Structure 1
Amino acid sequence: MGFPIRRTHVNLEVIRQVGVKKAAIDLLKRLQHNRLDGFWIHLDADVLDDAIMPAVDYRMPDGLSFVELTDVLQVLIGSPKAMGIDITIFNPKLDLDGIIAQAFTQALVAGLMPHS
């Protein structure tokens, strides 16, 4: 027996209109309203803007910036309901010098570390 899966998504244009951090906070409120025991964060690297994340097989023009990613992760991972995270879709064969991986890792660490 597994956990029931409920996916939530919001259009990036709408998120940017209200602000990335506020949209993440609003999402958490919706999740709490649904009285979920917890939630899992699934992050595909290809949601990041093409200009900063070309090391993916499906590139996303006008995707998230590293700052936006960090802001969203800080809000979500700060919730006691956050059960875990998986990070996928990064293709190291498209990052021969490791510069993209380094920038991505820095954004992830900033987003996943507790902040005050």
Structure 2
Amino acid sequence: MQKHISDEPQRHRASLVGKTMIVNKELMEKQQDMLTDHKDSLSVCVQKVHDLEKLYGSQLVWKIDKYSERFQEAKTGKKITIFSPPFLTSRHGYKMAVSLCLNGDGKGK
């Protein structure tokens, strides 16, 4: 095998370079296909985020857990006011929270 390799080194190098170029080309094509797939997936995700921002832009959806217990606490005066989680009025808007007095406050009792 050594004699065969040493007798024709140019041919072996050319064969090695040719195969390396073929593998490199296949890898580049596969990489390009994967990049295209990722770009498509990213475009879909960006569109979904855009649609959700339009739908839920400055709305607050606040689910109050254990409402009846909290209402009883408000009636007894133990915890009159509850606060929502903070939210943004828009993507780059104000950060706010909502307060709620379940049994009313002041004249509203």
TM range (shorter): under 0.3
TM-score using structure 2 length: 0.21
Q: Which has the higher contact order (CA 8 A, sep 6+)?
A: 1
